[in-house]
Amino acid sequence: MPKTKTTLTCIIALAWTAGASAQWAPVPDPKLPRDAEGNVRMDAPTPKTAAGTPDLSGLWMRTRSGPPPENAGGGGGGQLEPEQAPVPLDPNGPPIAAFFEAGQNIEGGLPYTPWAKELRDRRFALRAKDNPDAQCLPMGFLQFHQQPQPRQIIQTDKMILIVYEANYGLRYIYLDGRELPPQGEPQPYWYGYSVGHWDGNDLVVETNNLRGADEDSPYDGWMDVNGSPYTRQAKFTERFRRPTLGHLQIDLTIEDPKAYTKPWTVRVDQRLLPDQELIEFVCNENQQFERRIQLNQEPASEPSSTP
Amino acid sequence: MNRQARLKRMNIGALTGIAAAAFTASLPVAAHHSFSAEFDAAKEIRATGAVTKLDWQNPHGWIHMTVTEICERTAARGPDAVEQEWACRSPAGDEKGADWAFELGSPNGLMRQGWTRNSLKQGDVITVLGSRARDGSTNSNARSVTMADGKRLFAGSSEGATP
């Protein structure tokens, strides 16, 4: 079809990306520092609260500092968001997390226990159909941090809320000095129990009492899209820092002796989405994914980062 | 004019007039279903046809269309892969018929890409690039949509037009 091909080439030559014109009108924030053209100065100093701590509040999109994201172009999966300039990479920082395979940039991969490796491989062979994100359910923190939909951090002196556009997720992090409860005391929750304290400019958030992959439900305890698990024994430590106005960095460490032979840490970078707002996403409206899929074909095979 | 002839005429008209107002909208791929459970990224599809309906709903929008041309190929994977030629056919006589459906992102993500629920109307002729469903049905996942839209719903076209 040479005519069609020529026409399509012509279309592509004249094409523009619709992303340039969001229909959800931006609401300029008069408090944000701007240059002469009115662009927000993303490298401006970190905002502070009245109490003098860094203020992490804002609408954040995941971004990258490390190698290009997996699945960039080339057949399937598409791009998760328009390509952005990466934030600076700290060569001394922990490995950069990947969305599909959490340990993609960890030498030797994740230190799975045999139990966890078997579970992860079983989940992968089912093409991650039980990934909680696929079921409109709350995700594990590492998946939430990297989800392409934005999240709003609302910080007060007593508490931080993280409101996720994805699957209307909502996390509470208590800053009032309370202790982390013993593991197993509160009932296990999708979001666990999180307490935070300031360590210099880092907000250190510890979480336990999560539902885990050792629950009855297949949707519990997913670290990443491919199915790396965490269990009810998991303890997460996240260090949130905001090096500049426009950059949020989260180092996430998991200790989970049932799933991993040693703790491991990965880094997630996020960029400020200034003058924008969350947009409603009621995931359960018409969720028919389970009805459509067929899993009686050939099992999925590696490489694992393939969508 | 019967439906088939009408579609054919619209198709030709669109392909000649498309350049003035066309844009390619890249689709945000939110991951709230398992792409790999439902679709096969190796099976690329390019379909042209007329929109019959846009489902503007969560967790995914869907474009329903009556196709006039279906092209398929194996996706080129990896840095050294050679891009395959498209194998194109008319849906006439195809046992699956000419009614196909293409999954979009979710309305919130689509809005950030400049879409609204009125971006596609019945009869609009579009070309969709995407990946076919594993179950062999006429469902596909859309990666990009090239529209013929004389109404210029969006700002920033190559002509600098704004709505």
Model confidence pLDDT, tens digit, residues A252-297: 999 999 999 999 999 999 999 999 999 999 988 877 766 676 554 5
CA distance A22 to chain B (A): 4
Residue B139: inside a domain:
yes
Instruction: Give the pairing of strands A159-164 and A247-255.
Output: unpaired
Residue B159: inside a domain:
no
Domains in chain B: how many in total? 1
Tokens coding B127:
């070309």
- Mutate which of A59, A84, A282, A293 to disrupt the B interface (most B C-beta within 10 Å)? A293
SS3 for B84-150 is CCCEEECCCCCCCCCEEEEECCCHHHHHHCCCCCCCCCCCCEEEEEEEEECCCCCEEEEEEEEECCC
Distance CA A159, CA A127 (A): 37
Residue B163: inside a domain:
no
Distance CA A241, CA A181 (A): 24
Cβ pair A224, A212 in contact under 8 A: no
For A133-176, write each residue's pLDDT tens digit.
988 999 999 999 998 889 999 999 999 999 999 999 999 999 99
Q: Which residues of chain A have pLDDT under 70?
A: 1-23, 66-84, 289-291, 293-307
Give the one of B37, B81, B88 whose C-beta lies nearest to A293's C-beta.
B37
Cβ pair A209, A185 in contact under 8 A: yes
Q: CB distance from A282 to chain B under 8 Å?
A: yes
Structural domain boundaries, residue B79: 3-147
Chain A residues within an 8 Å CB radius of B16: 7
Q: What is the pLDDT of residue B32?
A: 52
Residue B162: inside a domain:
no
Give the one of B34, B106, B112 whose C-beta lies nearest to A22's C-beta.
B112
pLDDT tens by residue, chain B, 163 residues: 454 444 444 443 333 333 322 334 444 444 456 778 888 889 999 999 999 999 998 888 899 999 999 999 999 877 788 899 999 999 988 888 899 999 988 888 888 877 888 888 899 999 998 999 988 899 998 888 887 754 333 221 121 222 2
Distance CA B157, CA B21 (A): 7
Q: What is the pLDDT of residue A75?
A: 28
Q: What is the pLDDT of residue A298?
A: 55
Q: CB distance from A76 to chain B under 8 Å?
A: yes
Q: What is the pLDDT of residue B157?
A: 19
Helix and strand totals (H; E) in chain A: 4, 9
Q: CB distance from A25 to chain B under 8 Å?
A: no
Q: What is the pLDDT of residue A7?
A: 39
Residue B158: inside a domain:
no
Domain of residue B124, CATH code: 2.40.50
